[in-house]
Amino acid sequence: MKLYYPYFNLFYKTGTTNYRLDVLVKLPDNVNKTAIEQNFVNDYWEVRIKLNETKEIDALKEKMEEYNIDLTPEDVKQLDNIKIVVKNYDNLLRNGDPDGEGKTGAGNGEQE
């Protein structure tokens, strides 16, 4: 698994409009999540995991971070196309690829 590229599963509860993304991301040890934002952009629902580097920790080590994200669209049809973006917003980027992304959709979700 490359740095920043997410491994994810989309889950939904039968008979409801509750959708959840479970995301696993491999990060350098000196990178932390600053925010998770989601909104509808053009024709897809975008979930963006924003990262920044810290100076205190050794960048040579890696860690795995897991995020459980409840999706909050106004209309469930917006979840037909979902894009997950993991990006380091620090200008001092020195580690691996600058970002990673993946795509899924409501039709690919797993029932809970």
Domain count, the chain: 1
pTM: 0.82
Is residue 78 one of the residues assigned to a domain? yes
**pLDDT at site 68:** 96
Cα dihedral 39, 14, 21, 64, rounded to 10, equals 170
**pLDDT at site 81:** 93
Is residue 1 one of the residues assigned to a domain? no
Structure-token match 């997410």, residue found: 6
Is residue 56 one of the residues assigned to a domain? yes
Q: Which neighbouring-strand residues pair with 24? A: 7, 66
Is residue 35 one of the residues assigned to a domain? yes
Is residue 2 one of the residues assigned to a domain? no
**pLDDT at site 100:** 75
Is residue 99 one of the residues assigned to a domain? yes
Dump strand ranges (E) for 3-109. 7-12, 19-28, 31-41, 44-53, 62-70, 82-88, 99-104
Host domain of residue 57: 7-111
pLDDT along the chain (112 residues), means of 10: 84 87 89 93 92 73 93 91 86 57 80 77
